[in-house]
Structure 1
Amino acid sequence: MRIAVLSDIHGNLAALDAVLADIRRRGADRIVDLGDLLSGPLQVSETADRLIALALPTIAGNHERQVLNDAFERMGESDRHAVAQIRPDQRDWLRSLPPTLRLNDDVLMVHGTPRSDLECFLETIDAHGMRAATPAEVGERAGAADARVILCGHTHVPRSLRLDDGRLIVNPGSVGLQAYSDERPHPHKVENGSPQARYAIVERGGDGDWNAHQFAVDYDWNAAAALALRNGRPDWARALATGYV
C-alpha cells in the first residue's frame, strides 16, 4: 500500500496541482490531507473547490478551527483573508472535517499531535527557538495511540522518526509554504531553505513494515510570491520565493 500525504496547503493552488501531478507520475493507492488547507493570501476559494472535488480523506487543522470559530478581530491576516474569500458551501465543507481520522488499522491522521492541533509532534519550541524533538518527547506526544503510522503536519518541516516500539511518525512538510515565523509559544521561525512544494509517500512493504519517502516538487513559486505581494503580504512573498523568512 502506498499513501501520498499532503499537509499545510494554505491556499497555494499552483503548488497543490504540481504535487498532485507528481503523485500521479509516481503512483499511490490513496491520497490524504492533514489540514491547514486555505488560510493565506493566495487562491483560497479555488483551492477549496479543487479539494472538495477530489474528496480526499481530510482532517481539519488549527487554521480551519480558527476560521470557523474565532472572532474576526482576533484572527491573524491569513485567516482573515480566508474568511473573506470562502463561500457558504465551502464553509460547510470545512465544518464537516474531523480533527483526526483513523484511515485504516495501521494509519492515524492528526494535524499537530493526537491531543492537540497546535502541538508540534517532531519539533520542540522553547525559549531558544525551534529544534528537532527528542525521541522521548515524540514518544510522550504519541501517547497510547496504537497506530503503526501516525501522520502529522502543522510545523511545515518534512521529517520522520521511528520510535523504539516501532511506531513511525511522519510529517510530509508543507505543500504551500516553506518558511514562516511565529511568536507562539515562543518566538521562532521555520525555514526549509528552498521553495519547492513538499509531500510524502508512506509505503507498507510485503513484510508489513512501513517506510516514508519525502519529495520536493517544482512549481511556479515566483507567480505565487507575486500574488502574495499583490494581496499585501511581502512576508509570504519572500517565503514563497526563497524558502526563507
Structure 2
Amino acid sequence: MQCDRMRFAVIADIHGNARALRAVLADMDALGVAEAVNLGDFFSGPLDADETAALLAERNYPSIRGNHDRYLITQAREDMGLSDGAAFDLLSETHLDWIRSLPETLSFHGDVFLCHGTPTSDQTYWLERVNPDGSLRRATLSEIEAEAKGIGASLILCAHTHLPRIVHLSDGRLIVNPGSVGCPAYDDDHPVYHCVETGTPNASYAIVEKTPDAWTVTFRSIPYASTEASALAAKNVRAGWARALATGWISEASD
C-alpha cells in the first residue's frame, strides 16, 4: 500500500532498556503517534530484556532483526558475549521464536526500506566509518550511495551506530538513523576497537512524516530514569554500561 501522507515513529537499538522504551512509548502516545517500526537490537544488554520483550509484544510493531538479535538465535549460550548472554538468560523460547520469525530487511508501506546496518550487512556501519586508529568519521556521500544501489524506496531507515543522522542522497532519497532508545554509548572491537558516544543519557528516536511534497524528520531526545538504568547495570557488574547510561559517554578520554 502506498500513501500520499503517513506518519510513524522509528525506534531502534533498545538493548533491553525497558525504562527508556517506556519513556519513548509515552512520548509517542502523548504526540498521538500510533504507528511505528523497529530496526532491531531489542534485548542485548545487562538490563531488562524480559520486560522489554513484554512491552514490544503489546505494541507488535513491524520489526527487523539486528546483529545482536541474530547472535541470540545462532550462537550457543557459552559462546555469547556478556550482553547477549545476560539478555538470553532473561528471554523465553517464545521470545526467541519471535526473533526467528523476523526478516533482516523489510519494505514498509511500499516506499520505506528498513535495515539494521546496511541493506546487505547487519553489523556494518552505513553512515559512519571506523578509521584504522579507532577514530570515527562520517562516511562520504559516494560511500553511502554505493550501499543504496537498487533500493527504490524514497525513505531508507537504518540503525546500528546509535547516532541520530539524516543524509540526503543525490537522487532525492533520504536515509535516516533514529539513534538508540536504550544505549547512548558503547565500545566495540569490529573492525578495530572504537567507541561511539552521543554525549547524552537521553533515549533517542525519530518521527517521520510523508507529505505530498517530501519526507519530514523529527528527532526526539527523551529524558527518562537513566540513573536507575545505570544503577541496574552497575548492580550487574557492568561498569562501562553504567557509565554510558548515566552520561552518554563510555571512554576514559571523554573525561
Q: Pick the TM interval, shorter chain.
A: over 0.9
The answer to whether the aligner puts 1:154 opposite 2:178 as a matched pair is no
Residue equivalent to 1:193: 199
Q: Is contact 1:7–1:37 with CA below 8 Å preserved after alignment?
A: yes
Query: Deviation string for 1:124-143 (max 9, x for gaps)?
Result: 11213211111111101112
Residue equivalent to 2:41: 36
Residue equivalent to 1:135: 141
Residue equivalent to 1:229: 234
- Partner amino acid, structure 2, of 1:70: Q
The answer to whether the aligner puts 1:214 opposite 2:219 as a matched pair is yes
Structure 2 CA distance, aligned partners of 1:133 and 1:23? 31
Map 1:1-245 to 2 at 5 A.
1-128=6-133, 129-207=135-213, 209-245=214-250
- Partner amino acid, structure 2, of 1:203: E
Runs of 5+ in structure 2 lacking a partner?
1-5, 251-255
Runs of 5+ in structure 1 lacking a partner?
none
TM-score (norm 2): 0.93
Greater Cα shift, 24-33 or 91-100: 24-33
Structure 1 CA distance, aligned partners of 2:77 and 2:148? 33
SS of 1:32's equivalent in the other structure is strand
Query: Deviation string for 1:5-40 (max 9, x for gaps)?
Result: 000000100100100111112232511100000010
Query: Deviation string for 1:60-117 (max 9, x for gaps)?
Result: 1001100110132332110011111111111111111111110122101100111110
- Partner amino acid, structure 2, of 1:132: R
Q: Is contact 2:28–2:34 with CA below 8 Å preserved after alignment?
A: no
SS of 2:8's equivalent in the other structure is strand
SS of 1:189's equivalent in the other structure is strand
- Partner amino acid, structure 1, of 2:152: D
Query: Deviation string for 1:180-207 (max 9, x for gaps)?
Result: 1111101211110010000001111232
Residue equivalent to 2:253: none
Query: Deviation string for 1:191-227 (max 9, x for gaps)?
Result: 10010000001111232x1121111001000000000
- Partner amino acid, structure 2, of 1:163: L
Q: Is contact 1:173–1:199 with CA below 8 Å preserved after alignment?
A: yes
Q: Is contact 1:126–1:185 with CA below 8 Å preserved after alignment?
A: no
SS of 2:89's equivalent in the other structure is helix
Structure 2 CA distance, aligned partners of 1:95 and 1:105? 23
- Partner amino acid, structure 2, of 1:199: Y
Structure 2 CA distance, aligned partners of 1:63 and 1:193? 23
- Partner amino acid, structure 2, of 1:42: L
